[in-house]
């Protein structure tokens, strides 16, 4: 007799939601991007109304990871305006940036798997500068050197200059929260869909997680991505990061692993 599959969420190290929106619609597409019945679809188009002037269009492989995520100031998504993310191998985001009225604007980041390899700055579609990983690391080292010696003195003579933001109560409290609130999507259980979803978000200087800061860095499938976004968004306020004598905004990456195990 085949043993039943039971959901088990394994939460990895915390490093460092349902995403809040007004409404959601799902459109099933064929290989040419035309609407089709769900059973024959190869692409899922998720349209989210974030507010009265902003929509998000997410395209998924059916039962697979995201292909692209693009925000627009119109429901039809004809002109990109807002965050844009393209996904590559393994569901990892490989390009992240912003559009303003259909043109690339501000900082864009290019990733190779997990690490960032390039940062590019645009102004109305024109490239103003580019920086590779080496240049970015040098800038960070320079910032740290400038603030060297600032912070809280420790008993061993060292100086504490920064503390990462965290869920109140630390990792044990975070795991307890997840065990209580996590729900493995029924559709994913039925299809034995598993994997790690990586969610990026911001904790501001007051500990608030702004809804618009949530994004999917590593995608697995529509239902799992949505559940990972939900549990992080509904986690409430966090303890903010501390740096050079004051609370500061911090950027987080939270992995959530969805795994099915066979019951006895």
CA nearest 15: which of 217, 164, 116?
164
CA nearest 10: which of 260, 229, 232, 227?
260
What pLDDT sits at residue 6?
A: 35
What pLDDT sits at residue 216?
A: 95
For the segment 49-61, the average pLDDT, to the nearest whole number, is: 92
For the segment 14-20, the average pLDDT, to the nearest whole number, is: 39
What pLDDT sits at residue 116?
A: 79
What pLDDT sits at residue 21?
A: 64
What pLDDT sits at residue 245?
A: 79
Residue 247 · residue 205 · CB < 8 Å: yes
For the segment 248-263, the average pLDDT, to the nearest whole number, is: 88
Report pLDDT digits (tens) over 71-106: 999 999 999 999 999 999 899 999 999 999 999 999
What pLDDT sits at residue 242?
A: 86
Is the pLDDT at 13 greater than 90, yes or no?
no
Name which residue leads in pLDDT, 228 or 117: 228
Give the β-pairing of 215-218 and 159-160: unpaired
Report pLDDT digits (tens) over 189-246: 999 999 999 999 999 999 999 888 899 999 999 999 999 999 999 999 999 998 877 8
Burial 74-100 (b: 16+ CB within 10 A, else e): eeebeebbbbbbbbeeebbbbbbbbbb
What pLDDT sits at residue 10?
A: 37
Element (H, E) at 258: strand 250-262
CA nearest 66: which of 47, 90, 40?
90
CA nearest 224: which of 61, 83, 50?
61
Residue 253 · residue 217 · CB < 8 Å: yes
Strands of 112-231, DSSP E: 116-123, 126-132, 152-153, 159-160, 162-163, 195-203, 215-218
Name which residue leads in pLDDT, 242 or 42: 42
Angle formed by the axes of helices 170-181 and 222-233, to 10°? 130
What pLDDT sits at residue 139?
A: 57
d(CA 90, CA 145): 37
């Amino acid at each position: 007799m085949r043993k039943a599959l039971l959901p088990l969420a394994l939460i990895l190290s915390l490093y460092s939601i349902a995403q809040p929106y007004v409404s959601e619609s799902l459109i099933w597409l064929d290989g040419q991007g035309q609407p089709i019945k769900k059973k024959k679809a190869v692409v899922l188009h998720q349209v989210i109304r974030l507010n009265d002037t902003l929509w998000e269009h997410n395209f998924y492989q059916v039962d697979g990871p995201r292909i692209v995520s693009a925000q627009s100031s119109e429901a039809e998504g004809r002109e990109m305006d807002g965050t844009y993310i393209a996904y590559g191998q393994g569901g990892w985001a490989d390009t992240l940036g912003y559009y303003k009225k259909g043109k690339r604007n501000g900082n864009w980041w290019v990733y190779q798997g997990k690490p960032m390899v390039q940062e590019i700055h645009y102004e109305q579609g024109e490239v103003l500068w580019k920086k590779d990983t080496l240049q970015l690391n040098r800038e960070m080292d320079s910032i740290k050197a400038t603030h060297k010696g600032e912070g809280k003195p420790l008993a061993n003579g060292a100086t504490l200059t920064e503390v990462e933001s965290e869920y109140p109560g630390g990792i044990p409290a975070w795991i307890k929260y997840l065990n209580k609130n996590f729900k493995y999507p029924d559709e994913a259980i039925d299809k034995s869909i598993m994997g790690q979803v990586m969610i990026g978000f911001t904790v501001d200087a007051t500990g608030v997680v702004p809804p618009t800061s949530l994004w999917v860095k590593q995608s697995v499938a529509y239902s799992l991505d949505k559940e990972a976004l939900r549990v992080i968004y509904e986690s409430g306020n966090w303890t903010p990061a501390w740096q050079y004598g004051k609370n500061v905004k911090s950027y987080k990456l939270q992995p959530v692993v969805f795994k099915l195990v066979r019951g006895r």
